[in-house]
Structure 1
Amino acid sequence: MDGVSYLNTLAERVEEAIKPHSIRAFASKIDVSEGTLRRILKGEDPKLSIIERIANEAQVNLLWLITGTESGVEDVESLHPVVKLDEFNDAFALVPGYHVSVSTGHGAFNDQTQVSRHLAFRKKWLEYKNLEKSKLAVVFAKGDSMEPTIHNNNTILVDLSDKKLSEGLIYVVRLGEELYAKRLQQYLDGSVRLISDNKEYVEQVVKPDEMEQLEIIGKVVWIGKDLT
């Protein structure tokens, strides 16, 4: 089905997968309430067991349904075998994504911040990078201050456990009420400079007597971006 792999959200992929059934009819087929399916179509994160039921009934690839990385709907299951939930769980970890923007604008990032989505990462890759799923978070970049490294709306994976300042690396930080993704550099006098890759932006300096305003949220360990 042309264009299926380019559906951006889980809700859009579910909507595509359940065609040509009505919401009520498909909900009955997978033994969930119509209201539950409607909430999923409006963007609510479902349980993995429900996603698996949707994939099995619609005969779509579970990995595609969750991440959008496979080619989508097939009429014959043997041409595009369904990935079972246990197989997916063995290979992938779901990292929570938060409706938080960094680089420009206001933002809050704490234990009460609501999870808006999940992004799947291969467990082998996380192990190779020595990253723990429980200490990771996905946020989103806004603005052009870190171009060409980070573009507007890029997805950013943050290691919340790594708050130790290593010169030149990119961190998500809170400065006052603002969230930024910046390179950090510490000077002998104790001041910290927030450096943008876009040279049109002037670096910000946090002086030693202003350090209580600066909080390192975590280190940026991966950036997801479109090539075009």
Structure 2
Amino acid sequence: MKNKDIDQDSSNAGIGDRLRAERQRLGYMQADFGAAVGVSKTTQFNYEAGDRTPDARYLRKAAALGLDLLHVVMGTRDDSSADRYIRVPALEAQTQGGTAPLKEDGAPYEASGLCFGKDWLEARQLSAPQLSVVTVRGSSMESVLFDGDQVLVDQQDRRPRSGFVYVLRQGEELLVKYCQMLPGGILRVTSANPSFAAYDVDLAHTTELEVIGRVVASLHEW
């Protein structure tokens, strides 16, 4: 029995190490990956530490994020997995109280990005070259999006429509907000959190605001 326990511990540790490496390859923080597959940060930590073994439901959801299951479970790399997934670049965003880091030319820095299944993107008619991932910062969209949430942004859809969430660049900030076009070229910018007042921007008289794209999915949906 003792030898069996040692073998089991060794097996779990190997799976945990490979699980951690795969999560990092996909560009997820530990808490974010756990949330995406429906477990707590503590459970994710225990899986990676080898203290617990992931169940089938967890592994199925992890595979949908781009995790190489064959590698995690067996230690053998699935060379075909790269053909089924594509990396979407990430941009750092803050919804309030600060500015995102910018390059010398004023463009936001790209982070490592996240991997998405090509089938998942095609089913939603999303073109990978036009997508980016944004991490929400702040509380202005609470009840819909929360601090630390990651959202997928379609940069092809830049014409604001009522009821949809968009990523905006205003000056040196990236904002995640509800947007609506009003008569006369006025853009109304609204937060989900009622503590933040709505405001209007006259697009004809400013070059300080740009619609980056529409939020088409959040961390909880992929």
Calculate the TM-score normalised by the size of structure 1: 0.62
Contact 1:151 1:225 in 2 (8 A): no
Change in 2 beyond 3 A, CA 1:7/1:90: closer
Residue 93 of structure 1, CA deviation = 1.3
Structure-1 separation of matches of 2:106 and 2:128: 16
Structure-2 separation of matches of 1:123 and 1:67: 10
Aligned to 2:183: 188
Task: Count matched residues.
Answer: 170
User: Deviations for 1:166-185, whole angstroms, at most 9, x for unmatched residues?
Assistant: 22211100122221000101
Q: Larger % of helix: which?
A: 2
Aligned to 1:143: 138
Change in 2 beyond 3 A, CA 1:113/1:185: closer
Aligned to 2:89: 96
Aligned to 1:134: 129
Aligned to 1:42: none
Contact 1:7 1:68 in 2 (8 A): no
Residue 70 of structure 1, CA deviation = 5.5
Provide runs of 4+ in structure 1 moved above 6 Å. Answer: none
Aligned to 2:78: 84
Residue 112 of structure 1, CA deviation = 5.6
SS in structure 2 at match of 1:168: coil
Relative contact order higher in (CA < 8 Å, ≥ 6 apart)? 2
| 2:146 is the alignment partner of 1:154 | no
The alignment's C-alpha RMSD in Å is 3.5
Letter in 2 for 1:106: T
5+ long unaligned stretches in structure 2: 1-11, 28-58
| 2:168 is the alignment partner of 1:173 | yes
Structure-2 separation of matches of 1:196 and 1:7: 37
Residue 72 of structure 1, CA deviation = 7.9
Calculate the TM-score normalised by the size of structure 2: 0.63
Residue identity over aligned pairs, in percent, reads: 26
SS in structure 2 at match of 1:82: coil
| 2:184 is the alignment partner of 1:163 | no
Letter in 2 for 1:90: D
Q: Please show how residues 202-221 of structure 1 align to structure 2 within 5 Å.
A: 202-221=197-216
Aligned to 1:58: none
Letter in 2 for 1:175: Q
Contact 1:101 1:179 in 2 (8 A): yes
User: Deviations for 1:19-75, whole angstroms, at most 9, x for unmatched residues?
Assistant: xxxxxxxxxxxxxxxxxxxxxxxxxxxxxxxxxxxxxxxxxx9x87x956869855x
5+ long unaligned stretches in structure 1: 14-60
